[in-house]
């Protein structure tokens, strides 16, 4: 984990989850959240080509207390190649953004999550791997995100 300062001198921290195979027809934990944090950006990058079959993915906030919250609408990752990038707009009703151009706009809307996990849900069992990075602001002393 490392940190830097963003707008108005607010500390932004970065945590990476090393490349890992995608969950198989299930919801898998990517990161663990302690306390309350504000998500600045979540970025995924394909590091091993995704299998050539339909597989809809989405990111989910899974709080310790309360119900899961979909952070986006699904996107199909069928046959996505190495270097494909995924990101969020920050509006929960929007689909996850997917690009192969090597660039995308940052998350327009930041959102807060509390104790629990950030999960990736996959609709199918596919081969392939994605590396994930989260940029966030801690909202309370001791709040943090760590890779699962």
User: What confidence tens digit (pLDDT) does each residue in 18-48 have?
Assistant: 888 898 999 999 999 999 999 999 999 999 9
Domain interval for residue 130: 2-147
Q: How confident is the model at residue 11 (pLDDT cuts 50, 70, 90)?
A: confident
The yes-or-no verdict on residue 140 having pLDDT over 70 is yes
> What's residue 4's pLDDT?
54
Q: Residue 87 to residues 40, 50, 65, 143, 146: CA-CA distances in angstroms?
A: 11, 17, 26, 23, 19
For residue 123, the domain's CATH number is: 2.60.120
The distance in angstroms from the start CA to the end CA of the chain is: 13
Neighbouring-strand partners of residue 120: 28, 59
Give the Cα separation of 12 and 132 in Å (integer).
16
Contact call for residues 32 and 15 (beta carbons, < 8 A): no
CA 147 centroid distance within chain: 11
Number of domains the chain is built from:
1
Question: pTM higher than 0.95 for the full model?
Answer: no
13: left (phi over 0), alpha (psi -120 to 50) or beta: beta
> What's residue 90's pLDDT?
96
């Amino acid at each position: 984990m490392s940190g830097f300062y963003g707008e108005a001198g607010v500390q932004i921290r970065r945590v990476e989850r090393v490349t890992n195979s995608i969950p198989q027809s299930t919801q898998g934990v990517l990161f663990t959240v302690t306390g309350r944090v504000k998500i600045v950006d979540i970025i995924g990058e394909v590091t091993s080509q995704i299998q050539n079959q339909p597989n809809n993915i989405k990111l989910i906030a899974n709080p310790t207390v309360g119900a899961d919250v979909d952070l986006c609408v699904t996107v199909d990752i069928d046959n996505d190649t190495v270097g494909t990038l995924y990101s969020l707009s920050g509006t929960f009703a929007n689909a996850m953004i997917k690009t192969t151009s090597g660039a995308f706009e940052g998350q327009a809307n930041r959102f807060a999550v509390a104790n629990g996990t950030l999960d990736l849900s996959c609709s199918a069992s596919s081969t392939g791997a994605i590396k994930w990075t989260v940029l966030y602001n801690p909202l309370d002393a001791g709040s943090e995100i760590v890779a699962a």
